[in-house]
């Protein structure tokens, strides 16, 4: 769980914003600035020229098929690099604009490497208290990729994702509690987020069954004590289905979701399509 994100003065970690293509979500960039602001941290923009992509472009028979209408063109390393750099420059300008408005320091790093390795190296350079923000929206089948990041990047205490329907970062901060052990970390992260946003903090409890939910709630109340600024809700699901959990979360219209990877809300192995279809805000994942 997120134990700590280093503040700027500590220089022990940053908010790493990883971008590998032009599909970067503006909501993801806003989330990165919000996290950096909450933790008084810096942003490290990491733009990765995928070596595999460049290698691919050296094949003479390879063509690039346009995502808009299917037209194709020959692909060369020069074209790939030029296009990527142009896109990255535009994205960096946007991120600088967002960071500047929030008075968050920002640095940039351009590398040519395998995306996973580049991320791991960067986190190690900046770490150990980093939060990684993946700017490309996840899809239904992205579970594996997410697991790979969490497994291979050791110096990241949290991972922020956005879905394809992400449209806001303002709204309640919803902590989806499925395991009581995750409570303290979630609370610390939630408190940080609402400190700058002023949004309400909601603890949404999901249990495998009603008894489990009640037990989690009791434990949570004991742990929280007399805290009155936190809303505690049960997400009552007829079945323990990720789709139902995703819908229940969507109905709460959150501005930020904090959840554990591998739970019902963000399953590790299952299809993430329901979450992708319904999630309209960033999600901060813990291991």
Partner 1 sequence: MIFKWTKGGKSQALVPAAAKTTSASARSEVDGASGDLRLPLTADALRRSVDPGSLGFKSTAELEPIDGLIGQDRALRAIQFGADMKAHDFNMFVLGPPSTGKSTAVKSYLAHKLRPEQHPSDWVYVNDFETPNRPRAIRLPCGRAREFSLGMIKAIDELRATLPAMFEGDEYQTRKRAIDEAFRAGQESALEGLNRKAQAQNIAILRTPTGFAMAPILEGKVVKPEVFMQLPEDMRRSVETKIEALQTELEALLGQAPKSDKERRHKLAALQDEVATAAIHEALDELEAAFADQPDVIAHLVAARADMIRNAALFLADGEGDGSAIKPPADTSRDARFRRYLVNLFVGGQPGDVCETPVVEEANPTYGNLIGRIEHVAQMGNMMTDFLLVKAGALHRANGGYLLLDARKLLLSQFAWEALKRAIKGRQIKVEQPTETVGMMTAQTLDPAPIPLDVKVILFGDRELYYTLAQADPDFARLFKVQADFDDTIARSSDNDRAYARLIASIVKEHSLKAVDAGGVARLIEEGARLADDREKLSIEIGRIADIVREADYWAGQEKRKVIASADVAKAIDEARDRASRLRDRAQEMVERNIVLIDTAGSAVGQINGLTVQQLGTFAFGRPARITARVRMGQGRVTDIEREVNLGGPLHSKGVMILWGFLAGRYAHDTPLALAASLVFEQSYGGVDGDSASSAELYALLSALADAPINQALAVTGAVNQRGDVQAIGGVNEKIEGFFDLCAARGLDGTHGVLIPQANTQHLMVREDIVEAVTDGKFRIYAVASIDEGIELLTGRPAADVHAAVEARLATFARQLKAYQTPQEATPS
Nearest CA to 84 out of 126, 52, 117 is that of: 52
Q: Does 233 bind partner 1 (CB under 8 A)?
A: no
Which residues contact residue 37 at a Cβ distance below 8 angstroms, ignoring those fewer than 6 apart?
Answer: 102, 103, 104, 196
Site map 244..263 versus partner 1, x via CB under 8 A: -------x------------
Which residue in 7, 8, 12, 21 binds partner 1 (CB under 8 A)? Answer: 21
Interacting residue with partner 1 among 28, 33, 36, 75 (CB under 8 A): 75
Say whether residue 66 binds partner 1 (CB under 8 A).
yes
Residues 6 or more apart in contact with residue 144 via CB below 8 angstroms: none
Q: Which of 80, 98, 177, 193 binds partner 1 (CB under 8 A)?
A: 80
Pick from 61, 103, 226, 238 the residue near partner 1 by CB under 8 A. Answer: 61
Q: What angle do CA 264, 267, 271 make, to 5 degrees?
A: 120
219 makes contact with partner 1 (CB under 8 A): no
Helix (H) or strand (E) holding 31: helix 26-38
56: contact with partner 1 by CB under 8 A: yes
Contact flag: residue 164 with partner 1 (CB under 8 A): yes
The stretch among 8-16, 77-85, 96-104, 197-205 that binds partner 1 (CB under 8 A) is: 77-85
Among 227, 276, 250, CA closest to 176: 250
Question: Which of 279, 263, 271 lies closest to 176, judged by CA?
Answer: 263
Residue 63 sits in the site that holds partner 1 (CB under 8 A): yes
Distances in Å between the Cα of 92 and the Cα atoms of 48, 84, 228 are 13, 12, 41
Cβ distance to partner 1 smaller for residue 67 or 222 = 67
Residue 251 CA: distances (Å) to CA of 206, 208, 230:
14, 20, 18
198 near partner 1, judged by CB under 8 A? no
Q: Tell which one of 69, 211, 226, 269 touches partner 1 (CB under 8 A).
A: 69
Number of residues written out for the chain: 287
What does the binding site for partner 1 look like in residue numbers (CB under 8 A)? 20-23, 50, 52-53, 55-59, 61-72, 75, 80, 83-84, 87, 139-141, 164-165, 170, 251, 273, 277-278
């Amino acid at each position: 769980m997120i134990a700590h994100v280093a503040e700027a003065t500590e220089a022990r970690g940053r908010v790493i914003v990883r971008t590998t293509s032009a599909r970067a979500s503006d909501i993801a960039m806003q989330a990165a600035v919000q996290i950096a602001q909450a933790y008084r941290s810096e942003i490290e923009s990491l733009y990765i020229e995928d070596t595999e992509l460049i290698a691919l472009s050296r094949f003479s028979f390879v063509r690039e098929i346009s995502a808009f209408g299917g037209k194709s063109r020959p692909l060369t390393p020069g074209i790939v690099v030029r296009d990527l750099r142009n896109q990255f420059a535009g994205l960096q300008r946007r991120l600088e604009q967002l960071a500047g408005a929030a008075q968050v320091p920002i640095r940039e790093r351009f590398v040519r490497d395998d995306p996973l390795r580049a991320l791991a190296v960067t986190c190690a350079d900046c770490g150990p208290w980093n939060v990684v923000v993946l700017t490309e929206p996840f899809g239904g089948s992205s579970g594996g990729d997410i697991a790979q990041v969490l497994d291979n990047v050791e110096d990241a205490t949290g991972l922020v994702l956005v879905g394809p329907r992400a449209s806001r970062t303002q709204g309640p901060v919803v902590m989806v509690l499925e395991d009581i052990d995750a409570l303290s970390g979630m609370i610390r992260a939630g408190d940080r987020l609402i400190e700058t946003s002023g949004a309400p903090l909601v603890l949404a409890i999901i249990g495998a069954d009603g008894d489990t939910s009640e037990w989690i709630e009791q434990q949570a109340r004991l742990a929280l004590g007399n805290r009155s600024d936190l809303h505690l809700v049960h997400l009552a699901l007829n079945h323990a289905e990720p789709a139902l959990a995703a819908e229940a979360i969507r109905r709460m219209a959150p501005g930020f979701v904090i959840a554990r990877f591998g739970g019902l809300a963000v399953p590790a192995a299952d299809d993430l399509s329901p979450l992708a279809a319904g999630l309209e805000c960033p999600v901060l994942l813990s291991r």
